[in-house]
Amino acid sequence: MVNTANAIRAEIGVIGGSGLYSFLDHVTEIQVDTPYGAPSDSLFLGEVAGRRVAFLPRHGRGHHLPPHRINYRANLWALRSVGVRQVLGPCAVGGLRAEYGPGTLLVPDQLVDRTKARTQTYFDGLPLPDGSVPNVVHVSLADPYCPTGRAVALKAARGRDWEPVDGGTLVVVEGPRFSTRAESLWHAAQGWSVVGMTGHPEAALARELELCYTSLTLVTDLDAGAETGEGVSHEEVLQVFAANVDRLRGVLFDAIAGLPVAADGERECLCAGALGGMDPGIRLP
């Protein structure tokens, strides 16, 4: 295990969700510390199609971290600190419409935050250990996902004969419990598409660090309001994820290969200029 984050660099980060605890075969494991504490696990650095990739299991290997206990700030910071500028964030979700059954791959273009108790900004006015103090910064999250990353992800799925749902709204709940039937019916009535527990604040924090972030949601179950049975069980979620994890990995590999090569400052999407030249007060890693 190497302990110096800067020794090996990556350009693309993958944050693996439930059921995706390992991603690459030949990896270098590094531990990265951040001003916000430790990320969910080590970073696992490897290569896909000649691209340097850093994989981070969102819940830790062995799935010991529930969604509301994940240190999202440390996770995104750690990825950026090894050079990552593009992040792919696959996650398991519940479908809010009957047509979004298990096995549906939906690449959302919108996000609704229904979490309750998560630190969702780096710009909280509190000093970092190095004494620097973040300024008051408001980034735009009108379009929370990278348009380039979304297009690449959709193309990668189609290339694997997995017709994805192009767009939709991911509503993120606090968890760890699943929604009540009434909550689920309400989410669906708003026109939202899928429900998960980790999509926020991940995308918002990525934007604050000027990272490209693309969400790929895999429907593992119909949420309580969209079906008539007993509701969701965690076992059911993991079973469906396991049945689809190989093709999801394939889509992620192809997406990695398809992401444009762009050094910092050369990305053309809105993500790269999210701070608009504002002084964040802290030095981004």
Give the catalytic positions in this structure: 221, 223
- Closer residue to Zn ion in complex, CB, 10/224: 10
User: Total residues contacting Zn ion (rule CB under 5 A)?
Assistant: 4
- Closer residue to Zn ion in complex, CB, 57/280: 280
Query: Taking contact as CB under 5 A, which single stretch among the options 130-138, 145-153, 197-205, 221-229 is the one that binds Zn ion?
Result: 145-153
Restricted to residues 224-283, the positions that interact with Zn ion (CB under 5 A) are: 269, 271
Q: How far is the CB of 239 from Zn ion (least distance, A)?
A: 33
Query: Taking contact as CB under 5 A, which single stretch among the options 56-64, 111-119, 140-148, 220-228 is the one that binds Zn ion?
Result: 140-148
Residue 62 makes CB contacts below 8 A (sequence gap 6+) with 21
DSSP string, the chain: -B--TTTS--SEEEEE-TT-----SS-EEE---BTTB--SS-EEEEEETTEEEEEEETTTTTT---GGG--HHHHHHHHHHTT--EEEEEEEEEESSTTS-TT-EEE-SEEEEE--S----S-SSPPPTTS----------SS-S-HHHHHHHHHHHHHTT---EE--EEEEE--SSPPPHHHHHHHHHTT--EEESSHHHHHHHHHHTT-EEEEEEEEEEE-GGG-SSS---HHHHHHHHHHHHHHHHHHHHHHHHHSPP--TT---SGGGGTTTT---SS---
- Closer residue to Zn ion in complex, CB, 27/257: 257
Q: How far is the CB of 39 from Zn ion (least distance, A)?
A: 21
Q: How far is the CB of 107 from Zn ion (least distance, A)?
A: 14
Among residues 212, 222, 237, 274, which is the contact residue for Zn ion, using CB under 5 A?
212
Q: How far is the CB of 276 from Zn ion (least distance, A)?
A: 14
- Closer residue to Zn ion in complex, CB, 12/226: 12
180/241 Cα distance (integer angstroms): 22
187 known ligand binder = no
- Closer residue to Zn ion in complex, CB, 129/277: 277
Among residues 146, 153, 203, 216, which is the contact residue for Zn ion, using CB under 5 A?
146
180 known ligand binder = no
Q: How far is the CB of 134 from Zn ion (least distance, A)?
A: 22
221 known ligand binder = yes
Query: Distance from CA of residue 274 to its chain's centroid?
Result: 18
209 known ligand binder = no
Residue ranges binding Zn ion (CB under 5 A): 146, 212, 269, 271
Binding residues for substrate: 197, 221-223
Which residue numbers belong to the known binding site? 18, 58-59, 197-198, 221-223
